[in-house]
Structure 1
Amino acid sequence: MSTAPIANSLGVHALVWVGDTSPESVDTAVRQTAEAGFDLLELSLHDSVNLDVPRARAALQEAGLQVACSRGLAFDADVSSDDPAVVDRGAKLLADSLQVTRDLGGTHFTGALYSALGKYSAPLSAAGRANVVRVLRELAAEAAGAGMTLGLEVCNRYETNVVNTARDALRLADDIGADNVLVHLDTYHMNIEEADFVRPVLEVGDRLGYVHIGENHRGYLGSGHLDFTSFFHALADIRYTGPVTFESFSSAVVAPGLSADLAVWRNLWDDGADLARHARSFLADGLAAAARR
């Protein structure tokens, strides 16, 4: 494991360890995250109904871990819908999730906050986009009062029709018009939608608030074809000091329903602990090397 100093908090997604947020699963995720040497645990709030927030916060604090929370929405609770009732359900989910993040002690609430997570059959409508802007403007005001940021995760065309590139995210953030709405880049999605791994980072610049690192096939870092060296150097060029979180999914861990939502049709790993230890070293070494240029 690298001991070179880096500016970023290194995180790992809880779905590397466990498939839900039951008290026992969160305890396991916290323990294994700390044992693997990470600084931050990202919790997906898709299962927040089972999350014991006070217990989770106490466990995170005892382990000395930071926390970030993420989520996408469902088609019956989608703020990009034209249906006011569907939009209202999505807005309620976002508000509740922001509160959970705050109660856990987190300051980063991020993900596909702007739509359902799934393949759409048509382009985003003007009315739907206006709903996204309105809802996220209201959510951003609430977040700002708590000293929190919102992340617009840039996802591929098969998972949303709202934000597919860094430029899309910047335009949406501009329309929302709140300083605490930042861009969240993810190398897995960038590999599908962006022309390269450098220009989007440079274009986002100091509006980058969160980073997901995932291989093109979501397996072990370095076992695919992604140019992480260029990406790490671009992060160094903009002096990015925010979280860098490893994300990977396998149905060996993720529950069947969520595995289907994420299209986990084949598994590239079955040992989350080995995967995470490798990822932690890969991230620390790559970021440190880029910073030493």
Structure 2
Amino acid sequence: MLIGAHGLVFTGTFDEAGLRRAIEGTKNAGFDLIEIPLMDAAAFDSTLAGRMLRDNDLAVTASLGLTPATDLSSDDPAVVAAGRALLEHCIDHVATMGGDVLCGVIYSAMGKYMAPVTERGVAHSQEAISGLAAFAAERGVRLSLEVVNRYESNVFNTGRGALRFLDGVAGDVGVHLDTYHMNIEESDFFQPVHDVAASGKLGYAHIGDSHRGYLGTGTVDFATFFRALHDVAYDGPVVFESFSSAVVSAELSNTLGIWRNLWQDSDDLAAHANRYIRDAMHAVATIDRH
């Protein structure tokens, strides 16, 4: 299992200076992996990123959220085509960096919808993800669809909803669970892990507290979540995600409603999260001795 940190813990930009800050910060905090958000795929230098990752002996994944102009769940075929082209570019970035996962809200736009998704929109998204899964597999990359709350997508908001969506998708595509979103939408932190794992689809996990601040200071039931991961012998990435308007980009702050600064020191936050996750996983493993 690789324990990682989201790059936005350290910087809101991913030019050479931003990459150095994020990669070195992730390494110094004790993580195994960094998740790099591809917010500007056209300008992103994946060759440079790959070299810096190798220099720091860090594994990598990448993520993004689509916009209304690239929404795979749109009724407009031209918008869907734009989304497919963007995601193909992002998959190439992941492969160039030496990563094997592209995750996030890559099946719809990330943002508040004012109406339910249409049947046509779901079909468009399923068809596009099927094609992208094949494209990704050729490059050694797997897609993992992040389950987010009702204010960030209208396609699905629970683990079971994601599985129903994947019933209409061809290829090897995973489900990405996130404790922040689970705390809003799921009935508990145990059953969704078991449901998704039983399908063979559990591919990625985000760790974030209810207020996106220091782990253990909000309302997320981490003890149950980590125990569930242990129960199903989950061995995929476990990535810490936290946002503050002191660090995150202005555009993403507006999209996600990051209005409060619950932390200022990225290095202290990251080091605490690394210890918290590793201690929790160690603790639940001892249950086998009981």
User: Structure 2-normalised TM-score?
Assistant: 0.97
Deviations 1:78-109 (A, max 9, x none): 11000111111111111111111111111011
Aligned to 2:259: 265
Q: Is the 8 A contact 1:21 1:48 kept in 2?
A: no
Moved over 4 A (4+): none
Q: Is the 8 A contact 2:33 2:58 kept in 1?
A: yes
Q: State the Cα distance separating 1:54 from its structure 2 match.
A: 1.2
Q: Which amino acid letter does the alignment assign opposite residue 21 of structure 1?
A: F
Q: Which amino acid letter does the alignment assign opposite residue 232 of structure 2?
A: I
Q: Which amino acid letter does the alignment assign opposite residue 281 of structure 1?
A: R
Q: Is the 8 A contact 2:126 2:169 kept in 1?
A: yes
Aligned to 2:21: 28
Separation in structure 1 between the aligned mates of residue 145 and residue 156 of structure 2, nearest angstrom: 8
Aligned to 1:283: 277
Aligned to 2:128: 135
Aligned to 2:196: 204
Secondary structure of 2:216's partner?
A: coil
Aligned to 2:176: 184
Residue 228 of structure 2 corresponds to residue 229 of structure 1: no
Aligned to 2:245: 251
Separation in structure 2 between the aligned mates of residue 190 and residue 118 of structure 1, nearest angstrom: 17
Deviations 1:153-197 (A, max 9, x none): 00000000012000111112221032x201100000000000000
Q: Is the 8 A contact 2:244 2:263 kept in 1?
A: yes
Aligned to 1:109: 102
Aligned to 2:68: 75
Q: State the Cα distance separating 1:50 from its structure 2 match.
A: 3.2
Q: Is the 8 A contact 2:113 2:154 kept in 1?
A: yes
Separation in structure 2 between the aligned mates of residue 195 and residue 168 of structure 1, nearest angstrom: 13
Separation in structure 2 between the aligned mates of residue 262 and residue 50 of structure 1, nearest angstrom: 23
Q: Which amino acid letter does the alignment assign opposite residue 46 of structure 1?
A: M
Deviations 1:85-141 (A, max 9, x none): 111111111111111111111101101110111000100000000100110000001
Aligned to 1:213: 207
Aligned to 2:8: 15
Q: State the Cα distance separating 1:77 from its structure 2 match.
A: 1.3
Residue 23 of structure 2 corresponds to residue 58 of structure 1: no
Separation in structure 1 between the aligned mates of residue 114 and residue 170 of structure 2, nearest angstrom: 29
Separation in structure 1 between the aligned mates of residue 279 and residue 230 of structure 2, nearest angstrom: 13
Secondary structure of 1:30's partner?
A: helix
Q: Is the 8 A contact 1:118 1:158 kept in 2?
A: yes
Q: Give the total of aligned pairs.
A: 285
Separation in structure 2 between the aligned mates of residue 35 and residue 124 of structure 1, nearest angstrom: 43
Q: State the Cα distance separating 1:47 from its structure 2 match.
A: 2.3
Aligned to 1:3: none
Q: Is the 8 A contact 2:41 2:86 kept in 1?
A: no
Secondary structure of 1:29's partner?
A: helix
Instruction: Choose the corresponding residue for 1:292, options 272, 286, 289.
Output: 286
Q: Is the 8 A contact 1:21 1:50 kept in 2?
A: no
Residue 206 of structure 2 corresponds to residue 239 of structure 1: no
Secondary structure of 1:42's partner?
A: strand
Separation in structure 2 between the aligned mates of residue 255 and residue 209 of structure 1, nearest angstrom: 27
Please report the RMSD computed on the Cα atoms of aligned residues, expressed in angstroms: 0.9
Deviations 1:7-36 (A, max 9, x none): x20000000000011111001111111111
Aligned to 2:167: 174
Secondary structure of 1:285's partner?
A: helix
Separation in structure 1 between the aligned mates of residue 87 and residue 139 of structure 2, nearest angstrom: 15
Separation in structure 1 between the aligned mates of residue 49 and residue 69 of structure 2, nearest angstrom: 28
Structure 2 residues not aligned, in runs of 5+: none
Q: For structure 1, which segment, 9-18 or 163-172, has the greater mean C-alpha deviation from structure 2 after superposition?
A: 163-172
